[in-house]
A and B are shown apart, each in its own frame.
Chain A
Amino acid sequence: MARFVLTHSNSYATALDWSTRPGHQLVTPSRLAARALSKPHQPLRRLAIKALEAGGKKIASDLTAQRLFHRVVQDIAQPVDGLGTARAWLPGVRSLLQSSPNLATVTAAAERTAQLLDVARAYQTALSEQGFIDGEDLYWHAAESQVPPQPVLIYGYFQPRPDELAWINALAAEESVLFLPIADSPLFADSQAAVDWLVKQGWQVMGELDARYQGSSGDLAASANSRQNPGIFALGESLSQVFCGDRSQGSSGGEDVAVKSAQNPGISSPGQNPAIAYAYSTLESEVRGTLAQVKALLNGGTLARDIAVVARNEVAYGPKLIDIAWEYGVPLRALYQTPLLTTRLGTWLNQLVDVLDAKFPFEGTARLLSHALASNPDRDFWATARRQHPQGFAAWKTLAQDHLDLDLDLLAQINQARRRDNWVDLWQRILGRFDLRRRCARWARESLAFNTFRSALGELAEPEAEILSWSDFRQELRDLLDSLTVPAQPGRGGIELHSPRSVVGARYAHVFVIGMAEGVLPAPIGNDPLLDFFERQQLRHQEVMLPSAAEMARREALNVYFLLQTVTTSVVFSYPQLEGRKELLHSPYLAQLGLNPGEPTAAAIASLEEHRRTTLRHNAPTEDSVLLAAIHAYAVEQHRESSAAANEYDGVIGIPFDYGDWPFSVSQLRNLGQCPFNWFAQKLLKLGPPEEINDDLDPSQIGQLYHRVLELVLTRWGKHPELEVGDPTMLHEAFAIAERELIPPTIPAWTLRREEHLRVLALALQDPNFLPTGAKPVLLEGDFEGEWHGLKVRGRIDRIDRTDAGLVLIDYKTGKSRPTGIKDQTGKACIDLQLPLYRVAAGPALFDEPVADAYYYSIRGREKIALSPKAPQHELPAAIERCKTHLETGHYPVQPDIERKACAYCDFDVLCRQGDRLSRKEMTHGTD
């Protein structure tokens, strides 16, 4: 009796045959491979763990492994950044463990490698002291574990590593069979080496033409099976041969299997053309195109289990696929694992740690507490926070208590050293306080994340009595969030998204290989930063079998080879020419398969959304109320975009506004005169930006500060005319009052910045133009009301001076330029509004004296700014009439001045939809 290696390049048929014979336990790397043989799934790994456990050892949990490893690295290498180094080194050390059963005798010339080996050995020792091994050491240990061999049928382990081989060799009893396909291609060099090794261990090879062992029953079974199950000699087998360079397979591989070549990229409906390649324009269209074909198959009765979507970079495709699948109603399942930091819970906890560290800053805490994991969005918590701008623990504690019924007291206790178990206990309580388990229960994945996190947290409690500072413990928390994972999409059912590696040994009627792009498939072979290929070469001499560059490249190619073998009926390859802004070339594998990616044929419509996009202008009767709404919206938007005059969707409501009693302020009139829609939005729709206190000062706050300081200084000077206006003490006192009134205490670096503002004000006060000799302020920041051009107006004037010539009206400007005026006939915002209004309405309303002058005074520029001589002030009455017409006719088109100065500081851009479209609209003055 013997053990057999079966090297048939097409192993499936033989495996199927063997699997029906009694007496073997089937061993497969994946559920999918087991499913292909209709047998339960039993992986090598599980058997190895059993063997290990029988010997009383266990695999260390990730957390334990990481902690031990960190300690070892710290002890041996004493790096500056222990944690980072441990993280960066662990993969390298693990590949070392995998590569050799015994590292004890290995020496290295390079210092760094020697150190790495030291770490690896010390790590092994540290683990074994606690009865553990590292997961990557599993097979070597299992191979030495003295388990009784069993008769096994090993299928799907087509590229066994040395450690796997060792375990297979130990596990397999007489009569066992290992499938290790070999075809006539240099790609199989490593497989051949594996076979050679097995032969040395006494295995017998049974090759393609070697029918010795295929007894009569086997023959019958195989042919019977092939009749019942057309999938046996399927497309995949011939494709994989083509992939290896055997062109003859193209036409003679199976019944009617043919690889359609470049000239005929084929028809869109899948199943008609067994192998097609498509070049989609974008990643989005690739995903849509692929899922549309999938949907067509499903609708045609194909079972989800018979279809697979395969991507080398499944993580990159996952989210997009899931989204479009949602739109299409195609059940899709992404199976890869994703770190806790990509879940709500993980991100939230991470944010919590950040907030604790930064002592409850506004932005971070606001996001933390308004998150669905902490609050109920209906309670307008955010709106309150935005208005109050709390910072620091105390402020937030009050707010959370008042608005979320949440007591934050536990979080105040963070900054101290504690025993490990107390830390863990505190955090368990924090989780409880925020009721996270229940809040996570809304999502399957978050629930899993919670369970994962919580049980890992428990593990942190040991050794209980160890004292940790917050920063130590914080690091461990962060580490957890970084290293723990949950499935991207838990659950089951639907079309599965796989990587080429994960489908080895499986069987699918239809496979869609997406992302066939240069640089993606084959993925460039990464270079381990610690054990690069040069170093690996050196270590080979000592039987440390770390895979070489060429080996890894062959592995990658063989994964595709075996992926091809899974297909029974049709396969569609595709790649996007554009991914975001990145241009992609197609994968060299396509050429290897004799395929030239063609343009996909017009896609089917696979969702209601796509249907609406296509049919909106078809004028077909429809019952889709959303489509009807969209048709309306389209007409509205089309009108807005066109050169047609504004209508009721563009500010022209046609409802007169009775302005008789309406008090207009200067800025209202300016808005109306600059862009009627602006006034409409603000005053009639009663809209404005949401109230919010900012972290930083905005220019208007600085303006207020300046105004207030000048007011205070002049008031005081009025009482002490003996002093200079620019008297520094007076200024400083005034400044101190004003800043207390107006500057929030939380403004960063205010003590530094105030100096600058003080200087500006000091210079202004010293400027002779500020208060010309002979002028005496008689009014500071005074309110007035009056009538002007038949409008009721009111406002506040900064200053009125009395001079020999008469009253002088002054408006302060922080900056150096005049305020933007209202529109003249040609639409330029150049008619000054404010000074004329002051002259007529403010002066006389407050003092019964003649007005001699009115001007702006620039505080920063330290100069008087009079009306521009070019300003067409004679047009003012007409401009005001236009404003009135707007009001009388309910006509508020989106019509800013031609230079769009009005838009520069306008909050309504998002509302008014201004933009290029306005250049096509004719300027209307009040009426159409």
Chain B
Amino acid sequence: MGLTEQQERAAYSPKSVAVTAGAGTGKTHMLSERYRYFLQQGFSPLKIVAVTFTEKAAAELRSRIRSTIATSMGDRPDLLAELEAAQISTFHALAARICREHATIANVPPDFAVQDELESPIWQADVFADALAQLPSHFYLGIPYSLMREILQALLADPLTAAQALEKGRDDWLPWVERVQLQALEEFLSHPDWLSSKHILQAYAAPGDKLEEHRLAALDAIALFEEGHAAQALDILNSLKINVGSQKNWGGKDVLDAVKGAIKSLRTLAEDALKTGLITLAPNVFDDQTDALLPNLRGAFAWVRDFLQKAKYQQRILDFNDLEVHALQALADPSVQHYYAQRWQVFLIDEFQDTNPIQGQLLETLTANATLTIVGDPKQSIYSFRRADVRVFQAWQKHIHPGDDPVKLSLSFRTHQALITQINQVFAPVLADLHQPLDAHRQETLEPTPEIQLFTVTVDEEYQKDKGIDTNADACRRVEAQKIADLVEEMLSAKLAVHDKPSGQLRDIQPKDIAILSRTWGPLELYGNAIAARDIPILQAGGGNLLDTREAKDAGALLRFLADPTDSLALAAVLRSPFFAVSDRILYTFAQTLPEKTGWWKHLRTNIDPDLSHARETLGELLIARRTEAPTRLLQLGDRLTGYTAVIANLPGADRRLADWQGFGELVRSLESGSFDVLAVIRRLQRLQAAEVEVPRPALAGGNAVSLMTIHGSKGLEWPVVIVPDLARSASHDSPLVRFDPELGVALKLEDEAGERQKSALYTLLELRKKAADSEESKRVLYVALTRARDRLILTAAKAAGGGLDILQPGLESLIAPAAIPFAPDLAQPVAPVAPTIPPLPEQIMLYPARAGFAELPVTALSDYAICPLRFKFRHVDGHPGYTSGNGTSNSGMELGKLTHKALELGITQAETLATYAPHLTLTAVEEALSLAQVFRHSPVYATHRADAMHWEHPVSLTIGDLTLNGVVDLVGEDFVLDFKTDQVMHPEHHQFQLWAYSRAMGKPNAYLAYLRHDHLHPFDAEALQTIDQKADELVEGLMGGNFAPTAGYHNCGICPYEEACGNRWAQ
């Protein structure tokens, strides 16, 4: 695909360039072309840095660039290879690299690890509690403990900004407070209601009438106000009455109403003004108190921050925030700047509107002399909760293009012309200055013509009045959900034509072409249920806390019980759950027989009720398994023994449930890491809950289904049909104890005499700013939502006004008439969930375990198997080294034997030399090994074998059927093989198979065991070896067939190193 003219301007610019890329305007394509451009200019991929904001985007970009280069620069395999090492990554990865490469300057441990999102909050909460407890008490002067905790917690969530804010003081914010106050005043005075009311009140009078008093009072207040006594005046206005006055006195109803109306509007104005408090905004006593607290707060903040940092350093961890902070620290050093200036000369930065000020600073130092390409869309900046700030982008645009305009990509390849025209119309008044109209590449004819539709729920008065009918927001939302389901169903059954992106052709719509995008996860379940009830597949990707799902709670209860069998509540929960589905009647009867002070499990163990026997046996089995098995395995075992997942796989929402079950398993896996202990897992789960960590639920895989997701999650995606529901929901505002701003300072809500929290003036100012910023962001969020659509856009709301509807109102007003969704009680009923379709039975069913089989074994394995197949399994299948009691090293006899072999093989005669091969053996042991070796060297018993020696330590392998036996023969001679033994007791029969295998592998007719301790040579002659042939075959067959039945016995078990681990050991 070629480039548009706009794209070309950006892609092939020799200089730095800032690009505003509207939704769907092909910026990734442009970026990969730009990458290619730089390669063609002679830059190696190692000199180019590309930064994105998500790992997914980074992977996508790398993949796009790779294919661009592979197809168009095929003659440069070196570049293609280097691309794999190129810095194409997220911002965090870039920061991490800088920290790693300059650990000392960045003040991070050189071998730090990055804490994951689950661990980090728990850790932080723990260490923070320690820090508070140890915080020197003088910092607490004037700041109660709980307030200190809350303030510091808030500040530490954004430490860099907080540090800046704490340095600010009254001088920094006072002018702003005054400005805001003045502005509010001006707005008030120029408010049309103010002007007209004043006019009316001045125009009429009715001396003697009751209302006249209020008219005069109002006029007085107006005067007072204009003289600058705003607070007083507002109070007066706010207390005016209009339920008095007679028509007669005023000369008719019209006049009376006009006067009343005027007074009423003044009153409303005053009321509003008092509520926002802006007109009277001035520093108050809480500002003074905050000022007084600031020095201690500063000190405490620095102290605690330092404490946390030290703790992190000690544990060699950083969290995601730290990466940026420390990278910035490193980059302040000129040598580091030089280091990167030498290496990186080109920067491509995507989604620049999501940059936060710290990242901005970081990039500024990194890119000082580099060629820059920044791409972003201020209209799609929706990550302020991650401190993204569009102003960074705007400043950089100006910086890169001081004289000319930034490049704009405004040709959308996504949205159809008809729809884009409407979207332009909607957002022109909404986004105002930010707005950038888009053109569409797609102009093909579509029936019906793409458009925006708007549906809102309306409630008849009749229903509204009826107390018996629930018409509150939730009920209306259920009606809205039904409408959405109707619309989806209609589109699908009408086989609406949509534009297929890959082929460019029209085709019938499918469920996967539709997306429902809402601001929050909350209502999606409702819409999903309504659609699913029509037998239309849906996909709700995630959302909510995994720990709140029923599956996680059930599995958690099982683990809780296994961790602590005295936890009767957990046990009861398990019994009631689908693990056992015991009825409450049985549980009741059981509980009635419970002796005083006895836990359920203790009682259950001795209970003989047949209704509880399945549970009793299963849980008993699991408790035994708990001693050796990991929590994840216990969950698997729990499923195997109860069929739990079979139950959830057949309930409504089965996919979601199974995914949650698996997701919980994965969570447990991450929590058990290392300790494999149920209690540790349970405790950490409780910590997660206590720290209120949201554990994300696993995503569900696509398929052909209607997608339901949040608008934030939809960024970068597109669908032919997009439905944006729940538009009337108003945003909730929080009111934290502390607000802070890097330029203005820290503001608090403090307790007054009566113990009520009151806002300081700065607090009000910051709150105002936050609200304004939130409402701007809401516009952009809607912009993102609406621009996901290719052809059709459906907006719905549970009310006629409010929330997003109000925001879009200026744009929708003259463009789209809302269609009513009439409220009906039956539509407002909750929808019953539908069970999943019954899966057919696949052809292939394999219920039983498959055979293990071995490819290779050491020759000694046969001997082990001959002694006891279970012992063979321990040693060879499980790789168990065996257990020897006592305090010596693992197996000193074996070590000694090895050393003897070494001495013989290498011809070592000096103990010191030999000792270096077994550093942890005692010198006596080494000497013993040496003397054993000497036995062979000198004893007449071995004279002939010494003479005929051909190979020492000769590797051999023998193949029997599918099995290869490997070993090393100690000594090979002309017609024999020989093995040294340093055993205390001679058991030649234990080694017969080994020697047999050596002789067969080497094709030597004789085999010998040299018992060095006994100076004895044990021969196996040809005949003896032959009798072993058949036995050996049987053994091989047995072990290949997976027969590991133990042959316990006094002798076998007595010498067995697996006695401890073995459940079948011989007992007297």
Task: Name which residue of chain A comes closest to B836, CB basis.
Answer: A617
Contact between A633 and B569, CB atoms less than 8 A apart? no
Query: Which A residues from 863 to 877 make CB contacts under 8 A with B?
Result: none
> Measured between C-beta atoms, what is the minimum distance from B550 to chain A in Å?
7
| Cα distance, A751 to B144, chains bound together (Å) | 11
Known pairs A84-B316, A441-B883; A578 contacts B701 (CB<8 A) = yes
Contact between B627 and A428, CB atoms less than 8 A apart? no
List the A side residues contacting B669 at CB < 8 Å.
319
Q: Please, what's the 1-or-0 string for A423-438, where 1 marks a CB less than 8 Å from any CB in chain B?
A: 0000010001000011
Q: Does A95 have its Cβ within 8 Å of any Cβ on chain B?
A: no
Q: Does B887 have its Cβ within 8 Å of any Cβ on chain A?
A: yes
Task: Name which residue of chain B comes closest to A911, CB basis.
Answer: B573
Pair count A-B, CB < 8 A: 476
Pick the interface stretch among A152-160, A253-261, A339-347, A707-715: A339-347
Q: Please, what's the 1-or-0 string for B571-604, where 1 marks a CB less than 8 Å from any CB in chain A?
A: 0110011111101110110011010000010000
Q: Could you write out 30 A-B pairs with CB less than 8 Å apart?
A: A81-B313, A304-B851, A305-B853, A329-B849, A331-B851, A341-B674, A342-B673, A351-B675, A363-B683, A366-B683, A371-B675, A441-B883, A441-B1061, A444-B880, A451-B889, A491-B876, A527-B85, A534-B342, A578-B700, A580-B698, A602-B842, A603-B842, A613-B645, A627-B643, A636-B583, A641-B833, A684-B591, A687-B569, A748-B132, A763-B755
List the B side residues contacting A615 at CB < 8 Å.
841
Contact between B100 and A529, CB atoms less than 8 A apart? yes
Task: Name which residue of chain B comes closest to A281, CB basis.
Answer: B701
> Measured between C-beta atoms, what is the minimum distance from B365 to chain A in Å?
19
List the B side residues contacting A468 at CB < 8 Å.
none
List the A side residues contacting B579 at CB < 8 Å.
633
List the A side residues contacting B755 at CB < 8 Å.
763, 860-862
List the A side residues contacting B639 at CB < 8 Å.
609
- 12 other contacts beyond A186-B78, A553-B82, A577-B701, with CB at 8 A cut-off? A31-B856, A80-B104, A295-B850, A327-B636, A329-B849, A344-B676, A367-B680, A383-B567, A550-B85, A591-B67, A632-B581, A748-B133
* Option from A296, A348, A629, A655 in Cβ contact (under 8 Å) with B643: A629
| Cα distance, A428 to B632, chains bound together (Å) | 32
| Cα distance, A776 to B651, chains bound together (Å) | 63
Pick the interface stretch among B168-176, B212-220, B951-959: B951-959
Q: Does B677 have its Cβ within 8 Å of any Cβ on chain A?
A: yes
Contact between B62 and A756, CB atoms less than 8 A apart? no
Contact between A377 and B842, CB atoms less than 8 A apart? no
Q: Which 10 A-B pairs have the closest CB atoms?
A: A329-B849, A490-B879, A281-B701, A630-B643, A347-B674, A491-B879, A305-B855, A604-B844, A549-B85, A525-B85
| Cα distance, A919 to B146, chains bound together (Å) | 38
List the A side residues contacting B566 at CB < 8 Å.
380, 383, 690
Contact between A605 and B578, CB atoms less than 8 A apart? no
Contact between A323 and B845, CB atoms less than 8 A apart? no
Q: Does B606 have its Cβ within 8 Å of any Cβ on chain A?
A: no
> Measured between C-beta atoms, what is the minimum distance from B143 to chain A in Å?
10
List the B side residues contacting A594 at CB < 8 Å.
none
List the A side residues contacting B59 at CB < 8 Å.
518-519, 584-585
Task: Name which residue of chain B comes closest to A557, CB basis.
Answer: B81
* Option from B342, B841, B919 in Cβ contact (under 8 Å) with A459: B919
> Measured between C-beta atoms, what is the minimum distance from A83 to chain B in Å?
8
> Measured between C-beta atoms, what is the minimum distance from B202 to chain A in Å?
44
> Measured between C-beta atoms, what is the minimum distance from A334 to chain B in Å?
12
Contact between B145 and A752, CB atoms less than 8 A apart? yes
Contact between A611 and B847, CB atoms less than 8 A apart? yes
| Cα distance, A368 to B482, chains bound together (Å) | 55
Query: Which B residues from 534 to 587 make CB contacts under 8 A with A?
Result: 542, 550, 553, 556-557, 563-570, 572-573, 576-581, 583-585, 587
Pick the interface stretch among A33-41, A729-737, A785-793: A33-41
| Cα distance, A454 to B881, chains bound together (Å) | 14
Known pairs A341-B674, A614-B839, A920-B832; A444 contacts B879 (CB<8 A) = yes
Contact between B636 and A326, CB atoms less than 8 A apart? yes
Q: Does A443 have its Cβ within 8 Å of any Cβ on chain B?
A: yes
Q: Please, what's the 1-or-0 string for A629-645, where 1 marks a CB less than 8 Å from any CB in chain B?
A: 11011101110011100
Task: Name which residue of chain A comes closest to B137, CB basis.
Answer: A752
Known pairs A458-B920, A613-B646; A447 contacts B542 (CB<8 A) = no
Contact between A633 and B675, CB atoms less than 8 A apart? no
List the B side residues contacting A680 at CB < 8 Å.
584, 588
Pick the interface stretch among A225-233, A397-405, A646-654: A646-654
Q: Does B140 have its Cβ within 8 Å of any Cβ on chain A?
A: yes
- Residues of A in contact, count (CB < 8 Å): 189
Contact between B845 and A330, CB atoms less than 8 A apart? no
Q: Please, what's the 1-or-0 string for A753-776, where 1 marks a CB less than 8 Å from any CB in chain B?
A: 101100100010000000000000
List the A side residues contacting B407 at CB < 8 Å.
none
Contact between B585 and A653, CB atoms less than 8 A apart? yes
| Cα distance, A87 to B109, chains bound together (Å) | 10
Task: Name which residue of chain B comes closest to A748, CB basis.
Answer: B133
> Measured between C-beta atoms, what is the minimum distance from A286 to chain B in Å?
11
Q: Does A881 have its Cβ within 8 Å of any Cβ on chain B?
A: no
List the B side residues contacting A380 at CB < 8 Å.
565-566
Contact between A304 and B852, CB atoms less than 8 A apart? yes
Pick the interface stretch among A216-224, A235-243, A902-910: A902-910
Query: Which A residues from 258 to 285 make CB contacts under 8 A with B?
Result: 269, 281-282, 284-285
List the A side residues contacting B956 at CB < 8 Å.
40
* Option from B640, B662, B957, B1058 in Cβ contact (under 8 Å) with A608: B640
Q: Does A303 have its Cβ within 8 Å of any Cβ on chain B?
A: yes
Contact between B696 and A581, CB atoms less than 8 A apart? yes
List the B side residues contacting A447 at CB < 8 Å.
880-883
Q: Does A85 have its Cβ within 8 Å of any Cβ on chain B?
A: yes
| Cα distance, A777 to B623, chains bound together (Å) | 56
Q: Does A556 have its Cβ within 8 Å of any Cβ on chain B?
A: yes
Q: Does A212 have its Cβ within 8 Å of any Cβ on chain B?
A: no
> Measured between C-beta atoms, what is the minimum distance from B804 to chain A in Å?
25
List the B side residues contacting A58 at CB < 8 Å.
916
Q: Does A299 have its Cβ within 8 Å of any Cβ on chain B?
A: yes
Query: Which B residues from 643 to 667 make CB contacts under 8 A with A?
Result: 643-652, 659, 662, 666
Query: Which A residues from 887 to 924 make CB contacts under 8 A with B?
Result: 892, 907-911, 913, 915-916, 919-920
Q: Does B358 have its Cβ within 8 Å of any Cβ on chain A?
A: no
Known pairs A614-B839, A637-B651, A690-B567; A651 contacts B675 (CB<8 A) = no
Contact between A305 and B962, CB atoms less than 8 A apart? yes
> Measured between C-beta atoms, what is the minimum distance from A336 to chain B in Å?
14
Q: Does B255 have its Cβ within 8 Å of any Cβ on chain A?
A: no
| Cα distance, A685 to B849, chains bound together (Å) | 42
List the A side residues contacting B140 at CB < 8 Å.
752
List the B side residues contacting A686 at CB < 8 Å.
568, 591, 594
Q: Please, what's the 1-or-0 string for A74-111, where 1 marks a CB less than 8 Å from any CB in chain B?
A: 00000111001101110000000000000000000000
Known pairs A519-B59, A911-B572; A532 contacts B920 (CB<8 A) = no
* Option from A281, A605, A643, A910 in Cβ contact (under 8 Å) with B844: A605
Contact between B111 and A87, CB atoms less than 8 A apart? yes
Contact between B649 and A616, CB atoms less than 8 A apart? yes
| Cα distance, A584 to B60, chains bound together (Å) | 9
Contact between B577 and A492, CB atoms less than 8 A apart? no
Contact between B556 and A910, CB atoms less than 8 A apart? yes
Contact between B81 and A554, CB atoms less than 8 A apart? yes
Known pairs A492-B877, A638-B651; A443 contacts B628 (CB<8 A) = yes
Task: Name which residue of chain A comes closest to B126, CB basis.
Answer: A363
List the A side residues contacting B313 at CB < 8 Å.
81
Contact between A88 and B103, CB atoms less than 8 A apart? yes
Contact between B675 and A911, CB atoms less than 8 A apart? no
Contact between A687 and B844, CB atoms less than 8 A apart? no
Contact between B876 and A492, CB atoms less than 8 A apart? yes
Query: Which A residues from 390 to 416 make CB contacts under 8 A with B?
Result: none
List the A side residues contacting B643 at CB < 8 Å.
609, 612, 616, 626-627, 629-630, 633
Contact between A292 and B146, CB atoms less than 8 A apart? no
Most B CB atoms within 10 A — which of A366, A454, A609, A655? A609
Q: Does B885 have its Cβ within 8 Å of any Cβ on chain A?
A: yes
| Cα distance, A492 to B864, chains bound together (Å) | 15
